[in-house]
């Protein structure tokens, strides 16, 4: 349910932006692992949209959850390539 003044994009619009946002997310993660709220703040997009893009990246093996969740239950996500280079 939308609150007053809230504009929600439909799923087709969100998915349409996936390739552009994948590159932006990868650039942010190249500096180190981040949570969904951290990425959403940096990108200035709602967390639910960032979640969709992150899960697509995870599905294709580009990122992975690292460590344990923070106090709010959020995992940090990192680029898979970055993880391989660190080990």
pLDDT tens digit string along 16-51? 678 889 999 999 999 999 999 999 999 999 999 999
Query: Residue written as tokens 């929600």?
Result: 8
Range of the structural domain that residue 57 is part of: 33-86
pLDDT tens digit string along 45-78? 999 999 999 999 999 999 999 999 999 999 999 9
- 3 part of a folded domain: no
Strands (E), the chain: 63-66, 76-79
CATH number of the domain at 64, please.
1.10.10
| Contacts of range 43-51, beta carbons closer than 8 Å, 24 or more positions apart | 45/21, 49/9, 49/14, 49/17, 49/21, 50/21, 50/25
Q: Please give the tally of structural domains in the chain.
A: 1
């Amino acid at each position: 349910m939308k609150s007053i003044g809230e504009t929600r994009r439909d799923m087709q619009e969100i998915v349409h932006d996936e390739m552009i946002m994948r590159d932006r997310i990868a650039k942010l993660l190249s500096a180190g692992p981040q949570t969904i709220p951290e990425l959403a703040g940096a990108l200035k997009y709602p967390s639910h949209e960032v979640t969709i893009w992150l899960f697509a990246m995870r599905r294709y093996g580009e990122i992975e959850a690292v460590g344990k969740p923070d106090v709010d239950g959020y995992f940090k996500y990192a680029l898979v390539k970055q993880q391989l280079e660190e080990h």
